[in-house]
Amino acid sequence: MATAVLSTTSPAPGQAAWRRFCRHRLALAGAVIIVILVLGSAFGPYLLPFDDTYIDIMKRFAPPLSGAHVLGTDELGRDVLARLMMGARVSLSIGFVAMVMAMAVGIVVGAFAGFYGGVVGAVLMRLVDAALCFPTIFLLLALAALTEPGLVTTTVLIAATAWMSVARVVEAQVRSLREREFAVAALAFGSSNLRIMFRELVPNAVAPIMVAATLNVANAILLESYLSYLGYGIQPPAASLGNMLNNAQIYLTSAPWLAIAPGVIITLAVTSFNFLGDGLRDALDPRMNIP
Amino acid sequence: MARYVANRLAQAVVLLVIVSAIGFALLHLAPGGPLSQFAASSQMTQEDLDRVTRQLGLDRPLPIQYLDWFGRMLKGDWGKSYRDGETVLSVISSHLGATLELMTTATIIAVLLGCWIGILGALRRYSLFDSLATVGAMIALSIPTFWFGLVTIYVFSVTLGWLPAGNRETVGDGSFLDLLHHLIAPAMVLALVETAMWGRFMRSSMLEVINQDYIRTARAKGLPEWRILTVHALRNALLPMITVAGLQFPTLLGGALVAETVFTWPGMGRLFLDSIGYRDYPVVMGILMFSAIMVLIGSLIADILYAVVDPRIQVG
């Protein structure tokens, strides 16, 4: 202990958070996998000689590693790897965009409910409670059945069923931050309510918001796969990780490889985002560290 | 206590009204609305459509339709299926048994396995078992249920031939053993996510309890370790699990829908999907409401039960 050097300056909070994050090896692995998946789905399709919708009826059900098709071909002779990359592109995009939309709605609702409290807060939060009573998949399917399926509707619907939990997180944060000195000071300076809400309170809740955002992407990717698998999400011939599994069950006996690759990629992506969210939670707020 | 229960009941009633309003608005304001099923048939003329509109009362203002519908719902009249004219409640109840059977079995598996994993993980914190369980739980929560179902079918039905790939019974058999044989795979698939959830909550609840002063006191008194764990720690660590059971309910219902689809299990989830395919709005609406009410009642019971077993909780 004699050689121990006492550091008199504490590291910057950002640095400390970064170090805690790096200690969380699974979160780091998750981040790396996400980067690989994003790069692969963004640039991968240009490196392949096959188009994801090109039908080659002579080469149906080619097993993986046979000839030019690394992951084989599906029931229409389309290259599975090309479809996987395009599908991942669609699924990841939906995950990100749905997250942004859900966060926007959730933050606005949560900020208003938490800041004003009283009747406004009660009405908004009871609405959130009521919306959360519907099991997500039931609500999502009912909504999807009422609209024209497609990329935009799928994204919007997923966001529409995901903002409630964000609103809850933001509401709790804003409600407690509202009483703090800096918020009272801003009020004394004559800042408008909107300014206090979105320039003072919400930025101070950035840690839980970032965690919620990360977990939201994971959830959105999962929901897209459910919706498309059940036939109410992304419609063929466009590929998504979910709808690639749509027909896989029929060919499970004859062509099991059709079911394996998309499922592995979905699981990998969702697990990575979940671990990343976990790591962020530990890094950004050590007090929230659930034992 | 009575006040808490009354308070909680009032909350539930308010929620029920909002839930029903959301559900009603959703299906009525959407393009097509309840008429689209008739409009799709080419034999329907405009006059026919107008007549159906009047007959179903769809030409009245929406708030009136809602009040009318809500009143009838309270009386147990949930409308009739467009498909075969059966009442919605009887269609739901004829499919409910299969769903409850699946959900109950999966919950029993999940509670036993999850609590065991959680308790062991908490007692041997940061051990190899604990790390594996933590990572495993996260992966289990991330696997799409339907895909896990497909893998299960591939391994246990296609490759090994041990379990049937779907349905609730073999036609013409239907003995208890046959039913059980069909139940294993879907229940296992549904239980995966649940087990992971229960394990995680059990672990953190147990950790919270075993670090408390009264456990140290019990150790200081020289009580045997097994007695401390079972009598003192476990009893208190299990209490919050009542809340978990309530929170789990929506996930469990959603998971059941997916498992039923993969395993062609004749339950409420499958009925819901079929009804969506047929644009059978009364049934879609009915199941959506039914599931939300189940969730509402589930969390109500969980909250009240928790207040009963844990006298420390007395906040309104």
Summarize the confidence of residues B104-115 as an average pLDDT. 94
ipTM of the complex: 0.86
Residue A72 is classified by DSSP as -
Chain B closest-CA separation from residue A243 CA (Å): 12
Summarize the confidence of residues A160-175 as an average pLDDT. 92
Q: What is the pLDDT of residue A11?
A: 54
Q: How many CB pairs under 8 A join A and B?
A: 137
Residue A10 has pLDDT above 60, yes or no: no
B100-159 residues touching A, CB cutoff 8 A: 125, 135, 138-139, 141-147, 150-151, 153-154, 158
Run of H or E residues at A38? helix A25-47
**What confidence tier does A46 reach under pLDDT thresholds 50, 70, 90?**
confident
Helices in chain A by DSSP H: which ranges? 13-23, 25-47, 80-116, 118-133, 136-146, 151-160, 163-177, 181-188, 193-195, 202-204, 206-229, 257-284
* Contact between A275 and A27 (Cβ < 8 Å): yes
| Among the ranges given (A189-193, B50-54, B186-190), the one the predictor scored with the smallest mean pLDDT | B50-54
Summarize the confidence of residues A237-261 as an average pLDDT. 84
Optimal mutation site among A138, A147, A232, interface B, most CBs of chain B within 10 A: A138
In chain B, which residues have their Cβ closer than 8 Å to the Cβ of A249?
Answer: 150, 153, 262
Q: What is the pLDDT of residue B34?
A: 61
Distance CA A115, CA A200 (A): 11
Chain A closest-CA separation from residue B226 CA (Å): 22
Residue B314 has pLDDT above 80, yes or no: no
Q: What is the pLDDT of residue A52?
A: 72
A113-172 residues touching B, CB cutoff 8 A: 126-127, 129-139, 141-143, 145-147
Q: What is the pLDDT of residue B238?
A: 87
The more confidently predicted of residues A51 and B154 is: B154
**Structure tokens that stand for A69 in this block:** 């098709």
Run of H or E residues at B304? helix B281-309
Would you call A142 and B31 a contact, using CB atoms and an 8 Å cutoff?
A: no
Chain A closest-CA separation from residue B290 CA (Å): 9
**What confidence tier does B316 reach under pLDDT thresholds 50, 70, 90?**
very low
**Coil, helix or strand for B80?**
strand
In chain A, which residues have their Cβ closer than 8 Å to the Cβ of B212?
Answer: none
Contacts of B100 (CB under 8 A, 6+ apart): none
Contacts of A56 (CB under 8 A, 6+ apart): A73, A76, A77, A78
In chain A, which residues have their Cβ closer than 8 Å to the Cβ of B194?
Answer: none
Summarize the confidence of residues B174-198 as an average pLDDT. 87
Distance CA B17, CA A290 (A): 36
Residue A66 is classified by DSSP as B
Optimal mutation site among B160, B270, B276, B296, interface A, most CBs of chain A within 10 A: B276
Would you call B296 and A133 a contact, using CB atoms and an 8 Å cutoff?
A: yes
Model pTM score = 0.87
pLDDT tens digits for range B282-297: 888 889 989 999 999 9
Residue A128 has pLDDT above 90, yes or no: yes
- B14 CB within 8 Å of a chain A CB: yes
**Structure tokens that stand for A25 in this block:** 């090896």
Q: What is the pLDDT of residue A249?
A: 80
**What confidence tier does B202 reach under pLDDT thresholds 50, 70, 90?**
very high
Taking alpha carbons only, the member of B222, B308, B278, B145 closest to residue A135 is: B145
The more confidently predicted of residues A58 and B97 is: B97
**What confidence tier does B35 reach under pLDDT thresholds 50, 70, 90?**
low
Chain A closest-CA separation from residue B4 CA (Å): 18
Q: What is the pLDDT of residue A9?
A: 54
pLDDT tens digits for range A68-101: 777 777 777 788 888 889 889 999 999 999 999 9
Q: What is the mean pLDDT of chain A?
A: 84
In chain A, which residues have their Cβ closer than 8 Å to the Cβ of B30?
Answer: 143, 146-147
Residue burial A150-179, b: 16+ Cβ < 10 Å; e: rest: ebebbbebbbbbbbbbbbbbbbbbbbebbe
Summarize the confidence of residues A199-222 as an average pLDDT. 91
pLDDT tens digits for range B65-104: 888 878 888 888 887 787 787 888 889 999 999 999 999 9
Chain A closest-CA separation from residue B140 CA (Å): 9
Optimal mutation site among A146, A148, A168, interface B, most CBs of chain B within 10 A: A146
Would you call A245 and B147 a contact, using CB atoms and an 8 Å cutoff?
A: yes
